[in-house]
Amino acid sequence: MNKYLREYKNNINKLVKKSFPSLKKEKIIVSEFPRIIFWASGFVLPIPKFNLIFIKTSIRKRNNLIKNAILAHEISHIEIIKKKNKNIFALLFWGLCVGISWIFGKNPARENERKADLLTIKKGYGKELLLIVLNRKRKMSSRRLALVYKRGYLSPEEIKFFMKKYKQR
Ligand SMILES: [Zn+2]
């Protein structure tokens, strides 16, 4: 385990303790993937006995707030998945459907990203999420940005709207 993975693991433990108490007993393993998929900073693979979070290697040099927002988004996915799928068969079937629709950018995956962003805000990490999104807006061409929003991720305006709605920072 390199020092970045140790840092992620530490932060995941803190986030779970503080904001995701229902996941205290879940085994969460964190790993990295190279910069091949532009729209994802990270993704989750829920396997029956444990959960794998993958973080893009280029995230290493980002600041702590942004890293935490990415981790909180991924942990939100895990909480949603665990609530939704009470048994292994439901989990595997769900994983297959969302996985396929994620590859093709179709609706179940889109809903899934939206829900994870919303839960991230509800859990109190709206400010951090907003940082990622504003940063993305500065760096990406409008064509690329449109693709990101098409995948369900919230825009800065939507994040601000929901932060107000949930009455946070
Ligand atoms: Zn996601």
Domain boundaries, the chain: 3-165
Ligand 1 center–CA 77 separation, angstroms: 7
The answer on pLDDT for 169 being more than 70 is no
Q: Using one digit for the tens of pLDDT, what is the confidence trace for 21-42?
A: 999 999 999 999 987 766 688 9
Select from 73, 78, 84 the least CA-distant residue to 124: 73
For residues 151-157, average pLDDT:
93
Ligand 1 center–CA 73 separation, angstroms: 6
How far apart are alpha carbons 138 and 145 in whole angstroms? 10
- pTM, two decimal places: 0.90
Residue 38 confidence (pLDDT): 62
Ligand 1 center–CA 140 separation, angstroms: 18
Ligand 1 center–CA 81 separation, angstroms: 12
Ligand 1 center–CA 105 separation, angstroms: 12
Ligand 1 center–CA 27 separation, angstroms: 19
The answer on pLDDT for 153 being more than 60 is yes
Ligand 1 center–CA 116 separation, angstroms: 6
The answer on pLDDT for 4 being more than 60 is yes
Select from 141, 144, 121, 122 the least CA-distant residue to 131: 121
For residues 3-12, average pLDDT:
97
Residue 168 confidence (pLDDT): 64
Phi, psi angles (nearest 5°) of residue 45? -120, 105
Q: Which residue has better confidence, 159 or 168? A: 159
Contact 42, 70 (CB under 8 A): yes
Average pLDDT over all residues of the chain: 90
Ligand 1 center–CA 1 separation, angstroms: 23
Ligand 1 center–CA 3 separation, angstroms: 24
Specify the DSSP element, H or E, that contains 71: helix 64-84
Ligand 1 center–CA 168 separation, angstroms: 21
Residue 11 confidence (pLDDT): 97
Q: Using one digit for the tens of pLDDT, what is the confidence trace for 100-150?
A: 877 777 788 888 899 999 999 999 999 999 999 999 899 899 998 998 888
Ligand 1 center–CA 167 separation, angstroms: 23
Residue with structure tokens 């029956």?
48
The answer on pLDDT for 1 being more than 80 is yes
